[in-house]
Amino acid sequence: MLNDCLFCAIAAGEIPGTIVHQDELAVAFRDIDPVAPTHVLVIPRRHVRDLGELADHADDAQAVLAAVREVARIEGLADYRTVLNTGAGAGQSVFHVHAHVIGGRGLSWPPG
Ligand code: DGP
């Protein structure tokens, strides 16, 4: 856990979050500002900055993907979008890697 990391604190239960699913390596919780009926963030418990760093931790990367799949199952989503913003210029605002799981409404492409 990294001091001053919001998502580390949510994973540790120090800051409230609406947990959808968790296991030894990953935690899924609802986004505070949802853009769709389902908007869940999936993070590794390990503090990893972004997708580039996550790629160096195969067990954590696998756990994140499996947790995304589990969130979709729990939420009853056959169709959903998974987004990992990497870098401020791409919209990353919290520098603990997270996969947005978005669904429950129609989703257009390309995104904004
Ligand atoms: P990104 O912009 O890709 O880094 O996404 C960060 C997301 O984190 C954004 O959709 C809003 C969400 N978020 C920010 N602060 C909190 C919080 O305190 N709790 C929860 N549950 N989500 C948060």
108 domain residue, yes or no: no
How many beta carbons lie within 10 A of that of residue 80, not counting itself? Answer: 19
68 domain residue, yes or no: yes
Please determine, for residue 112, whether its predicted confidence score (pLDDT) is greater than 70.
no
Q: What does the pLDDT look like over 6-27, one tens digit per residue?
A: 999 999 999 999 999 999 999 9
Task: Decide: 85 in ligand 1 pocket, CB within 6 A.
Answer: yes
pTM over 0.85: yes
Residue nearest to atom 3 of ligand 1 (CA): 92
Task: Decide: 29 in ligand 1 pocket, CB within 6 A.
Answer: yes
Cα 33 to ligand 1 centre (Å): 7
Residue nearest to atom 23 of ligand 1 (CA): 32
Q: CA-CA distance, 24 to 16, in Å (whole number)? A: 19
Q: CA-CA distance, 75 to 71, in Å (whole number)? A: 6
The enclosing domain of 50 has a CATH number of 3.30.428.10
23 domain residue, yes or no: yes
Q: Which residues form the domain of 25?
A: 6-103
